Amino acid sequence: MSVDQKPVGAAGEDRTQAAPEQEGADRSFGSRLGASAAVQWLERYSLLVLLIVIVAFFGFIWMQTASTFMQLANFQNIVRSQTVLAVLALGAIVPLVCGQFDLSIGNVAGMASVFTAAVFARWHVPLPVGIAIGIALGTLAGAVNGAVVTRLGVSSFIATLGSAAVITGIVNWYTQGLSIIQGIPAQLTVFGGGNWFGIPSPFYVVAVAALLVYYLLEHTPYGRNLHAVGSNVESARLVGLGIPRIVFLSFVVSGAAAGLGGVLLVADSGAGNPSVGSSFTLTALTAAFLGATSVKPGRFNVVGTLLAIFFLATAITGLTFAGVQDYINDLFTGFALVLAVGISVLLSRRRLGGSR
């Protein structure tokens, strides 16, 4: 039982490879190692590389867009337009890490934006109170989702699909389908449209949210337990983890993020619009899945998610500049979602296949 040093990649000792020709075996092993290292590097930085490629393409290569694309205002617009989505996607990865879907995030954000606008318009509450109400409503919706999943045992897919519909109903009943545009505090809309040091001010909120989610997932026991539940529920139960509490809290976090996204939506658009919320859900989940193929392949992660959002937005903006019409948005997002999931399935199969 010598603790012998094994080369990286030859982890399984039941994989005793007979090497009839020593030299040939060594060479093939070396090149395999080289190839797999390159593949790993590509896997890790694929989204960053794609983002750079796409910026270079529309900025320098494609003549039709080159003049307009590489302007500060364009990048500011891209960043500003993605802040709500980024906050939602960051929230969505928390339940995803423990294997649960929150399909209601877009609708929850829509609801939070409508009622935040409403408390400003009707009761003229101070700015911090309005913001707090928006976030609290999102948190409450998340708690209801979490309770339905953990107490009633309804699958998260069904529970959040249902709550998304219920929320849409409540919003339409309350607004009668009309946007609330009166009485939004100017401070909020100025913040939504402003820049600090050249960067759109709502992006700082995204940055704080990203740091919080990153901290939660990577630097707290809760985050580690969340990964454990996502990796193997039964093992998690048998190391003493309280699964219901962990899952419940993940929905609370995604609900709170959706509430914050709703407030940002008011800041961005200056209104509580009852019809925009649901469109965020699919894109946010796409970004989360696309992000999971990169940076930490196989894991939902903060940096990958943010890169995915800006990759999608930049590509779509570039295509729009090139004259492609609006439908490209849905086409591109849909393909990206299926491709992202397809790629991650293939990669994990290759990883498993390579080790067994």
Partner 1 sequence: MADEAVALGLSGLSKTFPGTRALAGVDLDLRPGEIHALVGGNGSGKSTLIKILAGVYQADPGGVIEVAGRVAAAADQWSPRDAFAAGLRFVHQNPGIFLDLTVAENIAVGAGFPTGPAGSIRWRELRARTDALIERYHLRAAPDQPLRLLRPADRTMVAIARALQDRERNQHGILVLDEPTTSLPAADVDLLLDALRRYAAGGLTILYVSHRIDEVLSLADRVSVLRDGSLVGTVAAADTTEAGVVAMIVGRRLEAGRGRDRAVGAGRAVLEARGLSGGPVRGVDLTLREGEVLGLAGLLGAGQSELLRVLFGALPAASGELLVEGIARRFAGPADAMAAGIGYVPSERGVEALFPSMTVRENVSAGSVARYFRGLRLRHDEESRDVVAAMREFLIRAPSDVAPAFTLSGGNQQKLVLARWLRRRPRILLLDEPTQGVDVGSRQEIYTLLHRAAESGTAAIVVSSDFGELERLCHRVAVMRRGRLVAELRAPDIDEHRLTEIAHLSEEVA
Interface ranges with partner 1 (CB under 8 A) = 1, 3-4, 6-15, 215, 218-221, 224-225, 227-228, 231-232, 234-242, 298-299, 351-352, 355
Other CB atoms within 10 Å distance of the CB of residue 123: 11
Q: Answer whether 180's CB lies under 8 Å from 113's CB.
A: no
Terminal-residue alpha carbon distance, the chain: 23
In the complex, the smallest distance separating the C-beta of residue 227 from partner 1, rounded to whole angstroms, is 6
In the complex, the smallest distance separating the C-beta of residue 235 from partner 1, rounded to whole angstroms, is 5
Burial of 324 by CB count in 10 Å (0-12 exposed, 13-18 middle, 19+ buried)?
Answer: middle
Of 111 and 302, the one with the shorter C-beta distance to partner 1 is 302
Of 15 and 17, the one with the shorter C-beta distance to partner 1 is 15
> If you count them, how many residues does the chain have?
356
Of 85 and 241, the one with the shorter C-beta distance to partner 1 is 241
DSSP annotation of 272 reads: B
DSSP structure string for 313-352: HHHHHHHHHTT--TTHHHHHHHHHHHHHHHHHHHHHHHHH
Strand partners of residue 157: none
Of 93 and 319, the one with the shorter C-beta distance to partner 1 is 93
In the complex, the smallest distance separating the C-beta of residue 208 from partner 1, rounded to whole angstroms, is 16
Radius of gyration of the chain (CA): 23
In the complex, the smallest distance separating the C-beta of residue 167 from partner 1, rounded to whole angstroms, is 33
Of 63 and 352, the one with the shorter C-beta distance to partner 1 is 352
Residue 229, C-beta contacts closer than 8 angstroms, at least 6 positions apart: 98, 99, 236, 241, 243, 246, 247
Of 209 and 241, the one with the shorter C-beta distance to partner 1 is 241
Of 7 and 198, the one with the shorter C-beta distance to partner 1 is 7
DSSP structure string for 128-152: HHHHHHHHHHHHHHHHHHHHHHHHS
Of 223 and 270, the one with the shorter C-beta distance to partner 1 is 223
DSSP annotation of 180 reads: B
Integer Cα distance of 341 and 247 in angstroms: 23
Integer Cα distance of 197 and 209 in angstroms: 19
Integer Cα distance of 265 and 233 in angstroms: 36
In the complex, the smallest distance separating the C-beta of residue 162 from partner 1, rounded to whole angstroms, is 23
In the complex, the smallest distance separating the C-beta of residue 98 from partner 1, rounded to whole angstroms, is 12
In the complex, the smallest distance separating the C-beta of residue 242 from partner 1, rounded to whole angstroms, is 7
Of 183 and 244, the one with the shorter C-beta distance to partner 1 is 244
In the complex, the smallest distance separating the C-beta of residue 40 from partner 1, rounded to whole angstroms, is 12
Q: Which amino acid is at 8?
A: V
Integer Cα distance of 351 and 356 in angstroms: 9
Residue 272: C-alpha distances to residues 22, 181, 185, 243 (Å): 71, 7, 12, 36
In the complex, the smallest distance separating the C-beta of residue 232 from partner 1, rounded to whole angstroms, is 5
